[in-house]
Amino acid sequence: MNPYTGRVSCLRASWLSGKTRTKEYRVSQLEALGRFLDEKKNVILDALAADLHKPAFEAELSEIALCSNEVNYAINNLYGWMKDEYVDKNLATQLDSAFIRKDPFGVVLIIGPWNYPLHLVLVPMVGAIAAGNCVIVKPSEISSCTEKLLAELLPTYLDQDCYAVVTGGPQETSQLLENKFDYIFFTGSPGVGKIIMEAAAKHVTPLTLELGGKNPCYVDNSCDLQNVANRLVWGRCFNAGQTCTAPDYVLCTIETQEKLIPPLRQAIMEFYGPKPKESPDFGRIINDKHFKRIRALLDSGRIALGGQTDECECYIAPTVLADVKPCEPVMQEEIFGPILPIVTIANVEEAINFINSRERPLALYAFSCNCKVVNQVLDSTSSGGFVGNDTMMQMTLITLPFGGIGYSGLGKYHGKFSFDTFSHHRACLLRSMGLEKLNYLRYPPYAHRSLGLLLSSLDIKRKGTCTLL
């Protein structure tokens, strides 16, 4: 007997009852979520600190503020999003009402990861609630303090008839996935993404997968290298490198590599001081397993900056590896740690070929003072998102769709894209019973009727853009 079937059925019954249909209800739940973020801010910050040693600044910005932003944006725009979208009509439907109705799917499952354990569960949840679904949230068990917090507190804010939090590890998640959901939203690794998609295929359940990969960062010769270094270090070291859109490795010429290292040193110094381990603004690796995994990657190229580690604290210093070869360990997997390898190439064309010979990444970065070079990289590659002359900032623009392509993911969300992801866009055509004579054109028998008329309508099409049906 599946332990979650009862819960899923209850939520489905709530959805069928129509409880989540009204705008007022959805807004009330979103407001409750906003209140949760506001009232429990300190408790949240403590949980994040306990899980990831997450600096308060980072947590406030990336976990609380960005979530509140989504909540408010959804509340402000919900009416417009929910409205029936009227569409262009053709001659045959001129007198009809034709629109796209945004229907909820039903019961949505959101599975979150451990690196932004609040954000990556709540931001999709905002979209799912706004679209009128009932939601089961499964936070990651690895960020256990945040998991516990969500399981305890979320039900005190949200309607328990329609929203539930489920906790547990891989076994519990498998059991959960045996049930039929109407939409699944997963953030995590491509390996687990496949398992989720297999489970979804059994019930023909649509899904969004926010995965990862190695996000390349091309640095051109013509650059203000201090600014580049600042933006690179910020992106690489935020959350101790455990961000799906962090710049994973740098591609530049040998000359640029040498010129880049001193500004990188300076940026690290300015941000974290001479001993980053003592800085309150630098995080830690989530657990021992990942710490060991990342530490092993240090055996690549040469350590140009940093390289210190402390197993007791799961601390890895902001590190730059130079002269890294493509075959070395650090270039074989998504790093997800504060290590920035530099791979040298001869020119931008080689960089582009390097990028294109690998799986398409979630994000792609290119730095150059010459906008032609930035555009060249943009036009010649493919990625989930692209930023010229910075890292990670695409995450802060709620109006840009966020998602991957190929192994870095499928589907998009943030802002209105979340609402659209979690709604079924239903085609509606409302006709009248009148004007039946016009319909006679389409009824049999055809022999003595309108083939000529139809063919002459084809003539109209050949000359211009008029379409009859």
Beta bridge partners of 366: 218, 388
Residue window 413-432: x/- pattern of binding to other proteins, with contact defined by CB under 8 A: -----------xxxxxxxxx
Rounded to the nearest whole angstrom, what is the least distance from the CB of residue 157 to other proteins in the complex?
A: 22
Q: Which of 134, 244, 252, 314 is catalytic?
A: 244
Q: Is 60 exposed, middle or buried (0-12, 13-18, 19+ CB in 10 A)?
A: middle
**Which single residue is written with the structure tokens 């055996």?**
299
| H/E stretch holding 380 | helix 371-380
Residue 411 contacts other proteins per CB under 8 A: yes
Neighbours of 427 (CB within 10 A): 9
Rounded to the nearest whole angstrom, what is the least distance from the CB of residue 292 to other proteins in the complex?
A: 26
Residue 247 contacts other proteins per CB under 8 A: no
Residue 410 contacts other proteins per CB under 8 A: yes
- Sites for other proteins among residues 285-304 (CB under 8 A): none
Rounded to the nearest whole angstrom, what is the least distance from the CB of residue 105 to other proteins in the complex?
A: 7
Q: Is there a catalytic annotation at residue 210? A: yes
Q: Which of 58, 147, 210, 334 is catalytic?
A: 210
* Piece in contact with other proteins (CB under 8 A), picked from 32-40, 113-121, 340-348, 451-459: 451-459
- Sites for other proteins among residues 60-89 (CB under 8 A): 60-61, 65-66, 69, 87-89
Token pair for 318 = 């902001």
**Site size for other proteins, by CB under 8 A?**
109
Give the E-state strand segments of 146-189 in sequence order.
163-165, 183-187
* Piece in contact with other proteins (CB under 8 A), picked from 54-62, 110-118, 258-266, 303-311: 54-62
> For other proteins, which residue of 2, 382, 438, 456 counts as binding (CB under 8 A)?
382
Rounded to the nearest whole angstrom, what is the least distance from the CB of residue 386 to other proteins in the complex?
A: 5
C-alpha separations of 442 from 406, 434, 437, 438, 445 in Å: 44, 15, 10, 9, 9
> For other proteins, which residue of 147, 182, 210, 248 counts as binding (CB under 8 A)?
182
For other proteins, the closer of residues 151 and 378 by Cβ is 378
Rounded to the nearest whole angstrom, what is the least distance from the CB of residue 439 to other proteins in the complex?
A: 7
Residue 14 contacts other proteins per CB under 8 A: no
Q: Is there a catalytic annotation at residue 10? A: no
**3-state secondary structure at position 242:** coil
Quick one: DSSP state of residue 280?
Answer: T
- Sites for other proteins among residues 383-402 (CB under 8 A): 383-390, 393-394, 396-402
For other proteins, the closer of residues 70 and 147 by Cβ is 70
What is the distance between the alpha carbons of residues 313 and 324, in angstroms, rounded to a whole number? 27
Token pair for 268 = 């690290």
Q: Report the largest interatomic distance among the alpha carbons of the chain, rounded to a whole angstrom.
A: 92
Residue 261 contacts other proteins per CB under 8 A: no
Residue 206 contacts other proteins per CB under 8 A: yes
* Piece in contact with other proteins (CB under 8 A), picked from 121-129, 249-257, 306-314, 378-386: 378-386
Which residues are CB-neighbours of 314 under 8 A, at least 6 positions away? 53, 284, 285, 286, 287, 288, 290, 291
What is the distance between the alpha carbons of residues 147 and 1, in angstroms, rounded to a whole number? 25
Token pair for 444 = 């049999």
What is the distance between the alpha carbons of residues 291 and 286, in angstroms, rounded to a whole number? 8
- Sites for other proteins among residues 107-166 (CB under 8 A): none
Token pair for 106 = 């039903």
Catalytic residues: 210, 244
